[in-house]
Amino acid sequence: MHLLVNTGGGDAAGLNAVIHAATVAALKKGWKITGIRDGYEGLLQKGRVGLIPLTWEKVRGIAHLGGTILGTKNFGHPFAHPVTRNGKTHTIDVSKQILHRFKELKADALIVIGGDGSLRIAHRFHEMGMPLVAIPKTIDNDLCGTIQTFGFDTAVSVATDAIGRLHTTAESHSRVMVVEVMGRNAGWIALYSGLAGGADVILIPEIDYDLKNILKKIKEREKSGINFSIVVAAEGAKTKGGNLLYQKTGAGKKKRLGGLGEKIAWQIEEQSGKEARTVVLGHLQRAGSPTHMDRILSLRFGTYAVELIAQKKFGNMVAYMPPQMRAYPISKAIKGVNTVPLDSDILTTARELGISFGDI
Amino acid sequence: MHLLVNTGGGDAAGLNAVIHAATVAALKKGWKITGIRDGYEGLLQKGRVGLIPLTWEKVRGIAHLGGTILGTKNFGHPFAHPVTRNGKTHTIDVSKQILHRFKELKADALIVIGGDGSLRIAHRFHEMGMPLVAIPKTIDNDLCGTIQTFGFDTAVSVATDAIGRLHTTAESHSRVMVVEVMGRNAGWIALYSGLAGGADVILIPEIDYDLKNILKKIKEREKSGINFSIVVAAEGAKTKGGNLLYQKTGAGKKKRLGGLGEKIAWQIEEQSGKEARTVVLGHLQRAGSPTHMDRILSLRFGTYAVELIAQKKFGNMVAYMPPQMRAYPISKAIKGVNTVPLDSDILTTARELGISFGDI
Amino acid sequence: MHLLVNTGGGDAAGLNAVIHAATVAALKKGWKITGIRDGYEGLLQKGRVGLIPLTWEKVRGIAHLGGTILGTKNFGHPFAHPVTRNGKTHTIDVSKQILHRFKELKADALIVIGGDGSLRIAHRFHEMGMPLVAIPKTIDNDLCGTIQTFGFDTAVSVATDAIGRLHTTAESHSRVMVVEVMGRNAGWIALYSGLAGGADVILIPEIDYDLKNILKKIKEREKSGINFSIVVAAEGAKTKGGNLLYQKTGAGKKKRLGGLGEKIAWQIEEQSGKEARTVVLGHLQRAGSPTHMDRILSLRFGTYAVELIAQKKFGNMVAYMPPQMRAYPISKAIKGVNTVPLDSDILTTARELGISFGDI
Amino acid sequence: MHLLVNTGGGDAAGLNAVIHAATVAALKKGWKITGIRDGYEGLLQKGRVGLIPLTWEKVRGIAHLGGTILGTKNFGHPFAHPVTRNGKTHTIDVSKQILHRFKELKADALIVIGGDGSLRIAHRFHEMGMPLVAIPKTIDNDLCGTIQTFGFDTAVSVATDAIGRLHTTAESHSRVMVVEVMGRNAGWIALYSGLAGGADVILIPEIDYDLKNILKKIKEREKSGINFSIVVAAEGAKTKGGNLLYQKTGAGKKKRLGGLGEKIAWQIEEQSGKEARTVVLGHLQRAGSPTHMDRILSLRFGTYAVELIAQKKFGNMVAYMPPQMRAYPISKAIKGVNTVPLDSDILTTARELGISFGDI
C-alpha cells in the first residue's frame, strides 16, 4: 500500500500530530506514505520536488509542534486553479492532471486533512474515483458529523488566556475591553472562551445582536458597582442592520475600521461614554503548539484514518463521537455547518450565568 | 427553595467554578443557597458557624480560582465519624444528626460535589430521604456514567507540561525519566498525558506490567540510536509480582522507596545500567486554576445540577455525555469504576504509535 | 506617620505587588497608609469617597494579580485639569487644591507609582513642598536611572510567547508575520522579545529603518531555502520618509491602516509578493498576572519606597541597580529617556545572530 | 580560527541558546567551531565520533529548546577519570591526553559551558596552557563574579508557578504545603520563588532554621484566621541539630525520608497536628524551554564568549554585570560561592513582608 497525505487551508494546531500518527501507523503496517507539498500543488510539480517521503525519522518529535511539515501555501482550487498568462489571471481545471499523477505514483489512497473547503474538493475527487479519507481540521469547530475538530481546543485556550489577562486591566481602568476572536460562521470559540474567560457579553454569528442590549448590560453592571465589562465577539457576529465597518470622524468624514471588534469598541465608547479598547487575537489562535487535548485528538484522528483505509472505508471523514472515533460520510459532512444549537445546554449555562448575547 | 451545597474529598480544579455556577443559577431562580463548610462537618456545628450563605458577591470572580471557598478539611465519614474521647478514637454514626440539621435549616435539596466516596455517602443519605443531586468530581476520571469528570483536564494539562519539559533533559543526559502521576484505579491521566507528552512507556492499573518489557522498549530505542526514554506511571500501576517498595542497598540492607516511580527508576537503573530519575507530580495535578475545558465543564455541571433540582430529579448525578448533560442515577454510578477499556481506540492509538504498556 | 499612595497612567503588571509591599512595610512600622483612587482624582473628591484605607486584609493575596486596586481611570493633569462647563472643556490648575487636601489629611508623604508623565507631575509637587518618593512604572522600560521598570518583564514575556507561537504558522504558510509591540520612544520590548522569540527583523525607534533592508533580509532567507520571516516592530519605529499610515487601494483611493504593523505587512506583501500578516499585541502586553521577576521587582520597589520615606529621602525615585536598590533623584530621571544604547552588547548580540534592524 | 565548545554537569535551560549564539557568532567571523560530545569525553574518543561540527544548519532553531545538542552524559573528572579494569574501578589522569587531542585538532580555543566543577577543571586546563573562556551555567545561581547565571530564571519560573498552584489547595484543605526546591549551597531559587509565589516560610542554606520558628509562624497565621501555610525549602537548608532524614514510625522503627521537604512536612504534621504535604520539584526546575530572560542571557553569553576569544582574553568567564557583559577571571570565580548576602535588600523585602526564614 502507498498512501498520500496533504493538508489544505489555514493553520490549525495539531496538523503535525495528525501527520505523525498517520505516518507511524502506516509504516507499522508495512505501508509506504508520502506527503504532498502545499495541498495538491505538489502533485502538479515535476519529479519528486513536490513530494515528501514520510519516514519514521521525518516525523519523530513533531507531534507537539505547530504548523505542518507539508506546508500549506495557498494553492487555489484544483477545479478552478489560478493561472497567470500574459499578465492575465484566469482559472483552469487541473483535477484530471492531479488524478493522473495520483495513479502515476501508484498511490492507493489519500488522506486529506482539511476544513470545509478541502472536504468539498475531496468529495469531488472521491466521486472521480480517487480513494480517500478525510480528517476534520478547523479551529472554528464548524464541521458537521464530529463533536470536535482539531485546532479548536488550542484556539479556545489562547482566547481564554487573553480574556483572563485583560480582566484586571479592564477593572483597574474602568474600561470595556472588546476581544475579537475567530469564527465566521459559528460562534464556538467565542462561546467557549467567553464562558471560560468570564465574559459579560458574547457575540456569535448564530444570534443577531443589537448594540442597545450590549449597552444595557454594561449599564446594569455599572449600577451594581462594577465599572468594567468584557465583550467577546466572533468575527462573524452580525447585527440586524448589517456590519458597516466605518466610523464617523467628523463632518462627512469617516475612517474605515479594522474589524468588528474595533467597530463595537468605537460604538460603545461613543454611546456609553466609557473608554473601550479592542484586542484582535487573529493568527495567535491558529498558531503554536497544540494543547494536550488537541494532541490526543490529532493522534487519534491520524491513526484512525489509516485504520479506515485498511478497511477500505473510502469517502469517509474520521469523526469524533466521544468516547470513540467513527466514520462519517464526507458527502454528509459538507451538507451543513456545525453552528451552536440555540437549545444547547452550554448556551443555557452562559445565559444562566448572566452572560448577554446581545439579543435581549 | 433553599439549596445546600458541599464538597468532599481531595482538591480538583473547577470546584469554585461549580459553586459559582450553582449559586448564580439558584439565585437567578429566586432561590436561597447556602454552602456547608468542610463536607458535612458544617452541619454538625452549632449556629451559623458551619454555614456560608452564598450570594452573588461571595461567588463573583471565583470561577477561575483553584481550591474551594467551602473548604474540604478531612471530615471523615458521616456513617462512621471519628470521635476522640479520653484519648481514644472510635467512630460513631452521625448521619441522623446531619439529616435532622438539614430539615432544621428548611433545606429543600443538597448539591453534593464529590468523587466515589462522596457519591456512596450521598446515595445513603438519598435513601434516608434527603433530596439531593451530585456532581462528579475526581481528577482520576474514574467515575461511571459520565464521559468526563471535572479536574481531569487540568491534571492532564499539568502532567503533559511536565513530561514535555523533561524530554530535553532526558535526551541530553541519555537518561530514563520516570514520571509518576495520579491514578489509583484508573490510568486515564497516565494514558492521556503520556500520549500527549510523547511517553515511550505508559503504565496503568488496567494493564499489569512486566519490568522486562519496559527494559525491552528502552533497549529497542537504544538500538535505533535514541539514548533516552520517558516512562509515565500511574501510581496504581501493578506488576504481576506485586509492588514491594523496597530497594536493596547492601548486604541485607534495604531502603524504603517513596513510591512506584522511585521503584521503577531504581529497577531500570539497576538492570539496564542507564541513569534513571523520578519526578512525582503529586499535588501539582490537583491544584491551581482550572483549564478552559474544566471551567466550562464545571460551569455546566453547576448550572445543570440546579436544573435537575428544579425538575425534582433527585438521586441523580449530572453526567456529561457530549454534546449534552444528562441525569444519571447515583445508584448506578457507584456500582462500577470507569477504567480505561482495553479495546478503546485511544489505547489502540497509543500502541500504534509504538508506546509500550509493559505487557508485551 | 501617614502615607498616601497613588498610581497613574496605563496598566503595568506588578502594580498590585507594589501596593501590597508598600502597605505591609508601612503597617509593620506602625504607620497608616491610604490609597488615593484614580491618580490624584481621589484627592479632589469630598469626604472619604476618593480614599481607600490600606489594611493588611485589603492587600492580602493581591501581589500576583494584574491591575491595581486603586484604579487608574484617566485623570488628566493636575496642573492642567480638564473641566467641562456649559458644554465647553477647558483646563484649570488644581495642584493647590490637591496640596491642600494632602495637608488636610495630615499625610506625611506620598508614594507615586508612575511613568514619565507621573514623574514630571511628582517633580512639580515635590518642588511645591509635598514630601514624596516615586516608583518607576512603565512596560516600555524607558525611564532613566533604573536598569529596569516593573511591567517590562511581563510585557516581554507576552510578546516572546506570541512570537514563538507564530513561527510555525509563518513557516508552514511561507509567510512574513509582522508582530507589532509597544514602545513609542524606546525599543526595549521589541529588542528583548525579538531576540528571545527568534525574530529575523527588529524595528525600534532608536534605529531608522529602510523598507529595502527589510526586503533584503527576507530575500536572503529565501535564497538559503527559508521561506518565512518574522518581523517584530515597536509601534514607535520610524523610517526616514516618515510613517504615513495609508495604503493605496486603487486609482486615487487609499485605506487608512491601523498601525505600523499593518503598514509594514502591506508594504512587504506589495513589494515582495509574499503573503504577510500582522498581529498587534496591544493591551495583552500590559495586562494580567506579573511574571516572577516583575513580582519580585515590584515587591522590592514597594518595600524600598517605604524605607526611603523612613529615611526622609524625598524627591527620589526607587531605582534598581542590580543587585541593589538605590535612590535616584526624580529631577534627574525626568531629564532623559532610557533608549537602547547603540553600542550595547545586547544590540551587538542581535546583530551577530544575523538579526536585521532595517538600517543596513 | 577553530573553536571547540563543551558543556558539563547537570541540565540548565539555555544551553542550546548559548551553543546557538557561539556558533553563529564564530561562523560570522569566518571561524570553524566544533562541539565536543559529553563534556571532555568526546576528546578521548577516536576519530570524529566524539565531535559535532557546528554549522548554521545544525544550530538553526535550537535557541528555545531545552537540553543540549552536545550531550552531557556524566563524564567524570579529567584529572581523576574513572576507569574499570578487571571488574575494578580506579581513577586515572587523562588531562594530558585531552590537551594532546586539543592540539591535534588544531583548536585555537575552547568555550567551557559549566558550573563550579567545570570551572575548576577549566582553570586547571588553562594553567596547563589551553586557551579557553568559560560561560557560567547553574540553575542555583551560586557562581561568583556574575549577577546571574543562565538556567536560574527558568528554575525560578517553574518553582513560582508550582507554589502559586498549590496555594488554593493549601487554603481549601487547611494544610501546610512544603515545596522543596533546588539549592545545595545557595538559597536563590527558594528566596526568589518563595517571594514571587507568596510563601510564608522560606528555608535557605544561608540561614539555619529552627523548627520552632516555623511552627510559630504557622500558629501566628492560624490566630489571624488563616488556616494554611506555604513553606519553600531549598534542598540544602540546615537546622542547627543537623538534618537526619528519618521519621519514627513506631516502637524503635523508623522510615527513611526522601528529602528535606518530606522531613519538614512530617515534623510539622507531628508537632502542629495540621495536615502537611510535600512536593519535590526536582528535575522540573532544570528541564524545558528557557524563559525569555534565560534565552537573552544565554545568547549574550555565547556571543560575548566569542568576542573574548577574538580579543584573546583567555582564562576568563563571561560575567553579567547589568547592563553589560564583562570578563571575570576564572581563578577568582572558583574561589567563592555566590550565596544570598544577609544584608541584601531582597532578603529585607521578604522579612518586611512577614516571611519567616525560620531563624526568629
What does the alpha-carbon distance between residue B20 and residue A230 come to, in Å, rounded to a whole number? 18
> What is the β-pairing status of strands B32-36 and B51-53?
antiparallel
Range with the lowest mean pLDDT among A103-107, A290-294, B43-47, D82-86?
D82-86
The helix/strand/coil state of A247 is strand
Q: Are C150 and C12 in contact (CB under 8 A)?
A: yes
Over residues B2-21, the mean pLDDT reads 96
Does the C154-285+342-352 domain belong in CATH 3.40.50.460?
yes
Residues with Cβ within 8 Å of residue C154, at least 6 apart in sequence = C12, C13, C14, C139, C285, C288, C289, C290, C291, C294
Over residues A319-344, the mean pLDDT reads 96
What does the alpha-carbon distance between residue B40 and residue B204 come to, in Å, rounded to a whole number? 33
Q: Are C187 and C206 in contact (CB under 8 A)?
A: yes
Range with the lowest mean pLDDT among B281-290, C234-243, D180-189?
C234-243
D241-257 b/e with 16+ CB inside 10 Å = b? eeeeeebeeeeeeeeeb
The H or E element spanning position D36 is strand D32-36
CB contact under 8 A, B21 and A61: no
β-partners of residue C247 are C255
| Residue whose C-alpha cell is 485498511 | A310
* Chain B residues with beta carbon closer than 8 angstroms to that of A195: 295-296, 299
Residue C253: pLDDT band with limits 50, 70, 90: low
pLDDT for A185: 95
The H or E element spanning position A172 is helix A152-172
Domain with CATH 3.40.50.450 in chain B: 2-151+287-322
Q: Is pLDDT above 70 for C213?
A: yes
Q: Are A71 and C174 in contact (CB under 8 A)?
A: yes
pLDDT for D149: 98
DSSP 8-state code for residue C131: -
Average per-residue pLDDT for chain D: 93
pTM exceeds cut of 0.80: yes
pLDDT for B246: 60
- What would the pLDDT profile of D30-81 be if each residue is shown by its tens digit? 999 999 999 999 999 888 889 999 999 999 999 999 999 998 876 668 998 8
| Residue whose C-alpha cell is 465647553 | C88
Q: Is pLDDT above 80 for B243?
A: no
- What would the pLDDT profile of D155-209 be if each residue is shown by its tens digit? 999 999 999 999 988 998 899 999 999 999 999 999 999 999 999 999 999 999 9
pLDDT for A259: 87
Range with the lowest mean pLDDT among A29-43, A202-216, B299-313, D38-52?
D38-52
Using CB atoms within 10 A of its CB, is residue D44 exposed (0-12), middle (13-18) or buried (19+)? middle
* Chain C residues with beta carbon closer than 8 angstroms to that of A67: 167-169, 171-172
| Record: fold of A2-151+288-322 | Rossmann fold (3.40.50)
What does the alpha-carbon distance between residue A252 and residue A302 come to, in Å, rounded to a whole number? 56
Q: Is pLDDT above 90 for A88?
A: no
Instruction: State the complex-level ipTM.
Output: 0.94
Which chain C residue's Cα is nearest to D195?
C296
Higher-scoring residue by pLDDT: B95, D82: B95
Question: If you count them, how many residues does chain D have?
Answer: 360
Residue C243: pLDDT band with limits 50, 70, 90: low
Residue A257: pLDDT band with limits 50, 70, 90: low
Q: What is the DSSP string of B288-357?
A: SSPPHHHHHHHHHHHHHHHHHHHTT-TTEEEEEETTEEEEEEHHHHTT---PPPTT-HHHHHHHHTT-B-
Over residues D299-324, the mean pLDDT reads 97
Higher-scoring residue by pLDDT: B247, A355: A355
CB contact under 8 A, A354 and B28: yes
The H or E element spanning position D303 is helix D292-310
Here the cell at position A19 is 501527520
The whole-angstrom distance between C75's CA and the closest CA on chain D is 31
CATH number assigned to the domain with residue range C2-151+287-322, chosen from the 4 options 3.40.50.450, 3.40.50.11540, 3.40.50.150, 3.10.129.10: 3.40.50.450
What does the alpha-carbon distance between residue C357 and residue C252 come to, in Å, rounded to a whole number? 32
Closest among D138, D116, D70, D118 to D297, alpha carbons compared: D138
Domain with CATH 3.40.50.450 in chain A: 2-151+288-322
Which chain B residue's Cα is nearest to D155?
B165
pLDDT for A84: 82
CB contact under 8 A, A300 and B197: no
- Give me the sign of the Cα torsion angle C304, C306, C311, C314: positive
The H or E element spanning position D187 is none
* Chain C residues with beta carbon closer than 8 angstroms to that of A277: 282-283
Q: Is pLDDT above 80 for B207?
A: yes
- What would the pLDDT profile of C22-31 be if each residue is shown by its tens digit? 999 999 999 9
Q: Which of A15, A37, A165, A285 to mutate to probe the C interface, most C CBs <10 Å?
A: A165
Over residues A17-35, the mean pLDDT reads 98
Range with the lowest mean pLDDT among B292-306, C140-154, D77-91, D143-157?
D77-91
Residue D147: pLDDT band with limits 50, 70, 90: very high
CB atoms within 10 A of CB D292: 28
Among the partner-chain residues B73, B166, B275, the one whose CB lies closest to the CB of D174 is B73
CB atoms within 10 A of CB B48: 10
Q: Is pLDDT above 80 for C249?
A: no
Q: Is pLDDT above 80 for A74?
A: no
What does the alpha-carbon distance between residue A81 and residue B264 come to, in Å, rounded to a whole number? 58
Here the cell at position D176 is 501546610
Closest among A318, A356, A257, A349 to A18, alpha carbons compared: A318
Residues of D designated as active site? 140
Q: Is pLDDT above 90 for A242?
A: no
Closest among A16, C208, D168, D75 to B64, alpha carbons compared: D168
Which residue is catalytic, options A11, A140, A153, A294? A140
| Residue whose C-alpha cell is 495513479 | A103
Residue B86: pLDDT band with limits 50, 70, 90: confident
What does the alpha-carbon distance between residue B82 and residue B90 come to, in Å, rounded to a whole number? 6
Using CB atoms within 10 A of its CB, is residue B203 exposed (0-12), middle (13-18) or buried (19+)? buried
* Chain B residues with beta carbon closer than 8 angstroms to that of A156: 292-293
DSSP 8-state code for residue C259: S
Q: Is pLDDT above 80 for B291?
A: yes
Q: Is pLDDT above 80 for B241?
A: no
pLDDT for A275: 93
User: What is the amino acid identity at position C104?
Assistant: E
Q: Is pLDDT above 70 for C246?
A: no
pLDDT for D244: 61
Q: Is pLDDT above 90 for D136?
A: yes
pLDDT for D48: 87
- What would the pLDDT profile of D242-279 be if each residue is shown by its tens digit? 666 666 666 666 666 668 999 999 999 999 999 999 99
Closest among C4, C7, C3 to C113, alpha carbons compared: C7
DSSP 8-state code for residue A318: E
CATH number assigned to the domain with residue range D155-285+342-352, chosen from the 4 options 1.10.3720.10, 3.40.50.460, 2.40.128.50, 3.40.50.1220: 3.40.50.460
Which residue is catalytic, options C11, C38, C116, C140? C140
pLDDT for B139: 97
Chain C contacts to D (CB-CB under 8 A): 20-21, 24-25, 28, 61, 63-64, 147, 153, 156-157, 160, 164, 192-193, 195-198, 291-293, 295-296, 299-300, 303-304, 306-307, 321-325, 344-346, 348-349, 352-354
| Residue whose C-alpha cell is 546557538 | D20
Among the partner-chain residues A20, A61, A198, the one whose CB lies closest to the CB of B64 is A198
CB contact under 8 A, B174 and D255: no
pLDDT for C19: 98
The helix/strand/coil state of D231 is strand
Q: What is the DSSP string of A268-284?
A: HHHHH-S-EEEEE-GGG
Residues of chain B with pLDDT > 70, as a percent, come to 94
Inter-axis angle of helices A152-172 and A188-197, to 10 degrees? Answer: 50
CB atoms within 10 A of CB B323: 14
* Chain B residues with beta carbon closer than 8 angstroms to that of D11: 168-169, 172-173
CB contact under 8 A, B198 and A63: yes
Among the partner-chain residues B67, B158, B164, the one whose CB lies closest to the CB of D171 is B67
pLDDT for C77: 83
CB contact under 8 A, A11 and C169: yes
Range with the lowest mean pLDDT among A76-90, A219-233, B55-69?
A76-90
pLDDT for D46: 84
Closest among C302, C131, B260 to D350, alpha carbons compared: C302
- What would the pLDDT profile of B145-176 be if each residue is shown by its tens digit? 999 999 999 999 999 999 999 998 899 889 99
Backbone angles phi, psi at B191, to 5 degrees: -65, -50
Over residues A228-245, the mean pLDDT reads 86
What does the alpha-carbon distance between residue A221 and residue A237 come to, in Å, rounded to a whole number? 23
Range with the lowest mean pLDDT among A51-60, D43-52, D223-232?
D43-52
The whole-angstrom distance between A342's CA and the closest CA on chain C is 32
Cα→Cα distances B161→A21, A55, B196, D64, D155, Å: 20, 27, 9, 16, 15
Domain with CATH 3.40.50.460 in chain A: 153-285+342-352
Domain with CATH 3.40.50.460 in chain D: 155-285+342-352
pLDDT for C165: 95
Rg (CA), chain A: 23
The whole-angstrom distance between B199's CA and the closest CA on chain D is 15
Architecture of the domain whose range is A153-285+342-352:
3-Layer(aba) Sandwich (3.40)
pLDDT for D79: 92
A4-20 b/e with 16+ CB inside 10 Å = b? bbbbbbbbbbbbbbbbb
